[in-house]
Chains A and B, each alone.
Chain A
């Protein structure tokens, strides 16, 4: 199967994901208990101020309570024209809110991935080269420990140590470069814990293969062997796994954004669900779903490039 074919199948997948997520979120939001007009009014006006008058105003303005099927058809039709509608709470177009928030989340997620790749794989490779050594054993303990710590706790521990005790970094906020470090480090440590194990496993396997011993036998130093024959081999499972880690990342972004006051898509999704802002929920869920397809498509292409056996 060629690269174009793979892309076409991903495109079909994207359309199916869009229709499925659109329908599923619509059905879920419709079947939640409670009156949507009240929930939206609570989201808009706050708990001190929501009353029957506010709920009635919302109901009248939004024309809620119509039959489900035409509303679903309308939403799917709008979707095909890439019209996500307006947020029921703020009245702003959903696409603008998501664009704003997605940028913040993507920047955070990207820096977390880069940071995790700087921390995890180098340590994993070192450990894999000396499988069973002190570093290998220490890494196993540390990475298992890090993976077991919930991200919520990790975030608070990092704030207490790096922001409150050492005063190196701001505890929370958004807008400057230094605000990136703590939230992305929180995410990166969780990702690196797994990255390091994957890299370590791949490295240990490769270092045990005949071609590795041959390379050293013909006179290459360990460094040259790694550069010429090791890295490309280690990177294939690592990159493939990165696609799966996207799920962890999305989940982590939701928690981390709420702890650090980060105006991202995870934060927006939680608030939209709470105040029954259906277009926002549909829009954010759709963008996350399509993001997953996109990430996997990119990873397909990357693996194809790195590993000639797949492309052949």
Chain B
């Protein structure tokens, strides 16, 4: 009897061993993003990053626009009509050709859904002979950059239902989908009739793995060859392994505090400067984020033109912060919190846990603000509370990670965040000079000097208080070579990768 039971246990243990992991010839990608469904307006960025679907315009590593499905583009002298020359001989994954009509169809559907393209002053999109013309009601120089955004991806007409909702991803990219199981997985294989260079690795897969610990362990065990989005602790551990390479690049995304400039305590720019002076950016960057440095201005160096070396860097100076608050009439009370006219300096900071570092940084900020006599209450909630609090005016401070490169030209984000009173940007803050500068740049009239002037206004007025510039990290197995990180987060670059010899 006892022998039987022991034998059963042993058999079980052996069966575990015989099923051990083995190397395969498929490149496995793991990232945090879940696939909502075959809908370009929601999960489109997964399809573009995996090389399944493409856009008319691409962006290089430096943010310069490069030809995609359009080979060239030009604008009429009055700036109101854009013309895009379409690439010849492009086929969709279902074998149908990409024509001007199919491109117009895809763009019209993209424009009807929520997204940046729909906010442009477009009056019509028409098909020409191998060209697509986009008519505007007013000049808009950054239009091509909007067509590089993932929601402007070009899919075959058969991808959309009668109401425009996506139900299959039939793109033009180097990989075509062979199986998709929302929310977590997607398999793709090289598309034989791809217009460009054929990918070196023919089979790829995508897995959505929401827990960062699991993703790091998948990189360590070799279950995934390309792991996107690592936390600081995993980066240092994976960095010590021989068979995994960790890549890291600064991306145009900034960790910042969005300030309600209409709040009675925060309306004076000096009060915002006091808060800014209280933040030990280098400490937060090194201890919490494990980055080499904090942000001394809003735009990271990768946002060419907008980042300016001429700006006075944002400083950390608790004494100067206290002096400003003293001058503004805030008196330190017995519990160390300042009061003015019987009101305590208490503000609420709203943030969200989708990015695990945000609540940690919020906790550090609470300490640093307390040091200058400002009491901060942390509210960690759903990310949508920030734009909805912006809309109803209930937001005091919001700790957010803002991406300036969803559209490769930051002008789109700058316009919506700081001129259009956008939900993720400045709140109750307007500056006519800034608006003039930025609208000029948007029309195509401004130069880099104007961009620097605009940055200087933000640096001085602090409608948002920058804290750190993000680093994107990924782990790549040593079984592949040629991996690169796209700082504009548009592509995983799978088609450029090959198996190591």
Contacts and interface: CB of A to CB of B under 8 A. Distances in A.
Interface of A: 34-35, 38-39, 41-42, 44-55, 57, 89-92, 100, 115, 118-119, 122-123, 125-126, 156, 159-160, 162-164, 167-175, 177-178, 181, 222-223, 226, 258-261, 263, 267-268, 271, 274
Contacts of A42: 382-384
B500 interface: no
Interface string B3-17: 001001100100011
Interface hub of B33, B209, B355 (most chain A Cβ within 10 A): B209
Interface of B: 1-2, 5, 8-9, 12, 16-17, 19-21, 30, 33-34, 36-37, 39, 41-42, 113-115, 118-119, 165, 181-185, 207-211, 213-215, 217-218, 220-223, 352, 354-355, 381-385, 387-388, 391, 403, 406, 422-424
Given A91-B165, A222-B1, 6 more contacts: A90-B37, A118-B9, A162-B16, A171-B223, A172-B217, A271-B34
A274 B385 CA distance: 13
A39 B382 CA distance: 7
Contacts of A123: 5, 9
A11 B352 CA distance: 43
B1 A271 contact: no
16 contacts: A38-B388, A41-B384, A42-B382, A46-B33, A46-B42, A48-B406, A49-B115, A119-B12, A126-B5, A159-B214, A171-B214, A172-B215, A173-B207, A178-B21, A261-B209, A263-B183
A224 to B, nearest CB: 9
A173 B208 CA distance: 9
A39 B184 contact: no
Contacts of B115: 49
A174 B182 CA distance: 12
Contacts of B33: 46
A168 B16 contact: yes
Contacts of A159: 214, 217, 221
Contacts of B217: 156, 159-160, 163-164, 171-172
B294 to A, nearest CB: 22
A47 B354 contact: yes
User: Which 3 A-B pairs rank lowest in CB-CB distance, beginning with the nearest?
Assistant: A47-B383, A38-B384, A42-B384
A169 B19 contact: yes
A149 B184 CA distance: 28
Contacts of A41: 114, 384
Contact of A261 (B16, B114, B214, B385): B214
Contacts of A35: 384, 388
A220 B333 CA distance: 86
A55 B183 contact: no
Given A45-B41, A173-B207, A271-B183, A181 B214 contact: no
Interface hub of B30, B211, B352 (most chain A Cβ within 10 A): B211
A54 B422 CA distance: 12
Contact of B36 (A90, A100, A172, A261): A90
Given A47-B354, A122-B8, A261-B211, A168 B21 contact: yes
Contact of B2 (A51, A126, A162, A173): A126
B165 A52 contact: no
B213 A156 contact: yes
Given A47-B354, A171-B217, A226-B1, A90 B384 contact: no
Nearest to A53: B114
A170 B381 CA distance: 34
A174 B184 contact: yes
Nearest to A45: B42
Given A49-B115, A52-B423, A261 B20 contact: no
Nearest to A56: B114
A160 to B, nearest CB: 7
B184 A261 contact: yes
Given A171-B214, A223-B1, A177 B19 contact: yes
B8 A50 contact: no
Contact of A167 (B182, B208, B221): B221
B160 to A, nearest CB: 13
Given A47-B352, A126-B5, A177-B19, A170 B424 contact: no
A92 B37 CA distance: 9
Contact of A44 (B2, B42, B385, B391): B42
A243 B127 CA distance: 64
B8 A51 contact: no
Given A175-B185, A178-B19, A261 B207 contact: yes
B387 A52 contact: yes
A151 B210 CA distance: 17
Contacts of B222: 167
A177 B1 CA distance: 30
A34 B214 contact: no
